[in-house]
Amino acid sequence: MAGQGRSGVAVPAPPGGRGRAHDSAGKPARGGMAHGSAEQADPRSLRPGARTASLLAGWRAALRHAWPEWWPVWIGLAVLFLPTFFSLFMGAWIGEEQGHGPMIFGLALWLIYRKWPQVRALEPASSVAGWPVLVLGLMLHLLGRSQHILMFEIGAILVVLAAVVLVKCGARALRVLWFPFFFMLFMVPLPSEFVAAVTMPMKMAVSWATEQILFAAGYPIGRSGVVLQIGQYQLLVADACAGLQTLLTLEALGLFYLNLMRHPSAFRNVGLALLIIPISFSANVIRVIVLTLITYHYGDAAGQGFLHGFAGMVLFLTALVLILAVDSGLQWTARRRQVRRGEGT
């Protein structure tokens, strides 16, 4: 016996059963008495709770599918780097100079998570170049861990992760993930001699700007090198307040903002990337001014205690506000240029 579809195409019936009506596309006709599973609903049409459950179910299925292939990688990375992360969170990453490390690493992992669907869409192709990169990363980790060289130990995290991507997913996947790996470079500490050589001129400039601004505002302030004298208090502008690491952290924040916004205008991208350096300097000056005023009005204990940590938050919030303000100004300028070009034509 055969079933008759809407387009007149006869579809053979399965043995021992009745035929199903099909249309020209091969789908069951709406009016037919077809038996089978219901068509899956589009997750976007579901309610928020059901949509979340659907996405979680999809992720669980993907993890179950990838687990047999990736579990040796995860176990190896855990054995290799868990002691390193424990040392970092108990030491360098709780200090002011390297306190930006976990923030940079967390944002980089989030960027990889956002890009991972593009990596999964690529054809799986392992790259032989990943193996020498892996050997290099393991050597850096061994040297940094045994000799307590923080730059090598943290840099090994980046190199080993890049090697894993090359071996498991190929060079095209690493090109897709180039920005997260570039972004992780900002968590690698620089040599102390280089930092000291660059930091001193920056501290002098921040101290001078702070003195000039507060003196113009009527405060009794003087300066000797990087030591500020306001009233009865002396303040030393430390590396954490106006150092190279702070500048690099704010530069990373600006590049992260650019990557999220993805402006089509090259003028806005290049302009904002260049202006991040003076924005970072201005944010450092504002931080030192805030600390100086807190010390002058509320005493040395307030300035060096809890409010000193709060000044770090002021630094990043100020930098973020300045970045948004400058970006808005560049957007207005770009629109004006487009309008003038339109009027000229």
| Average pLDDT per consecutive 10 residues, the chain (345 residues; last block may be shorter) | 41 42 42 40 54 63 64 89 92 77 90 89 86 95 92 94 92 93 90 80 90 94 91 80 72 83 75 82 86 87 66 73 84 81 69
Phi and psi of 255, rounded to 5°?
-65, -35
CA-to-CA dists, residue 196 to 164, 204, 316, angstroms: 35, 12, 22
State the pLDDT at residue 96.
67
State the pLDDT at residue 59.
58
State the pLDDT at residue 78.
92
- Tell me which residue has tokens 């992760």: 161
State the pLDDT at residue 16.
42
Q: Return the structure tokens found at 7.
A: 């387009």
**Considering the chain, what is the average pLDDT of its residues?**
78
Q: Return the structure tokens found at 253.
A: 């924040």
State the pLDDT at residue 14.
42
Ordered DSSP codes for 38-100 = PPPPPGGGS-HHHHHHHHHHHHHHHHHHHHHHHHHHHHHHHHHHHHHHHHHHHTGGGSSSSTT
- Tell me which residue has tokens 């070009």: 341
**Residue 102 half-sphere exposure, CB side, CA atoms within 13 Å?**
14
Ramachandran area for residue 200 (φ above 0: left; ψ -120 to 50: alpha; else beta):
alpha
Determine whether 287 is an active site residue: yes
State the pLDDT at residue 196.
77
State the pLDDT at residue 53.
67
Residues 239, 101: Cα–Cα separation, whole Å: 16
Determine whether 169 is an active site residue: no
Angle ∠(233,237,241) on CA atoms, nearest 5: 125
Output the pTM of the full model.
0.68
State the pLDDT at residue 10.
42
Contact 177, 112 (CB under 8 A): yes
Spell out where 87-245 has E strands: 221-224, 227-230, 233-236
Strand (E) or helix (H) holding 8? none
Residues 183, 163: Cα–Cα separation, whole Å: 16
State the pLDDT at residue 181.
95
Active-site residue, selected from the candidate residues 241, 262, 268, 337: 241
